A and B are shown apart, each in its own frame.
Chain A
């Protein structure tokens, strides 16, 4: 994946909405070692990751060549069990960092009513050390 300015602005939706079920939250909360209530703050990565994977598939990039460089979430409201969330990831920038390419992304996560729940900003580092 060469640094390619044409990536910027492309939108990559997660393939399907994610229902925030008690079971899903319980598995996540157990894995990060905290109670399921309130929903762990980093839970939206489940959906953001699916959108990122859609991007990698579209660009034919192997996941194992990607390292997560940065992740920041800003929340409009807490996530709640029962939410049905959708995500669209947009590439906001590409740059070179030594031998690696750095792709900056923004992922908007919205509820079933279309209201913004949270925004995830991430960088994906491709090809470092290779």
Chain B
């Protein structure tokens, strides 16, 4: 990977069933990710995806882009909710570019994740370690 490389956009459809599976897998059974009434009672626009589910989708894109390179850093702010309707799903679009590559193979990715055209992550960032040619 080289600085400036544009990574192919990835689109993930998120459904309520995905959130149920993620709650089970992660242990995060916060009802704001399942129950419309509870979500609205705390001022949310509806059932929202776990921020960590969205970040996991970013991790999935990073994995694909980097051929499953070792992840050194991964993180983001959850700046806008991903509202997931009861029927069908909602698309999260993850895009990225290679921002920097160090001599020892640390690759920093500048990322973006949107839902309905709105950014849902603030300062999303990933750093992976790629094999250095000849090393």
Q: What residues make up the interface of A, taking CB atoms closer than 8 Å to B?
A: 27-28, 30-34, 37-38, 40-42, 45-46, 49-50, 63-75, 78, 121, 123, 128-130
Asked if A27 contacts B76 (CB within 8 A), the reply is: no
Does A31 contact B78, Cβ atoms closer than 8 Å? no
* Contact-residue bracket for chain B: 35 or more
**Chain B interface (Cβ < 8 Å from any Cβ of A):** 12, 18, 21-22, 24-32, 38, 42-44, 50-53, 55-57, 59-60, 62-63, 68, 70-78, 122, 125
In the complex the two chains form, is A121's CB within 8 Å of B75's CB? yes
Instruction: Say whether B74 contacts A72, CB under 8 Å.
Output: yes
Contact A34 B60 (CB under 8 A): yes
Among B24, B26, B68, B72, which residue has its beta carbon within 8 angstroms of that of A49? Answer: B26
Interchain CB contact under 8 A, A74 and B26? no
Q: Please give the distance in Å from B41's CB to the nearest CB on chain A.
A: 8
Taking a contact as CB atoms closer than 8 A, the residue among A63, A74, A123 that contacts B73 in the complex is: A74
CB distance from A65 to the nearest CB of B (A): 6
B122 and chain A: residue at smallest CB distance: A70
A-B contacts, 21 of them at CB < 8 A, read A30-B21, A31-B26, A32-B25, A34-B60, A37-B68, A38-B68, A40-B63, A66-B30, A67-B32, A68-B52, A70-B76, A70-B77, A70-B78, A70-B122, A71-B75, A71-B76, A72-B75, A74-B72, A74-B73, A75-B73, A78-B70
State in angstroms the CA–CA spacing of A39 and B57 once bound together.
14
> Closest A-chain residue to B81, C-beta based?
A67
Apart from A50-B27, A78-B70, A129-B44, list 18 A-B contacts with CB within 8 A: A30-B21, A31-B21, A32-B22, A32-B25, A32-B57, A34-B59, A40-B59, A45-B26, A46-B27, A65-B42, A68-B50, A68-B78, A69-B77, A71-B55, A71-B78, A73-B75, A74-B72, A130-B43
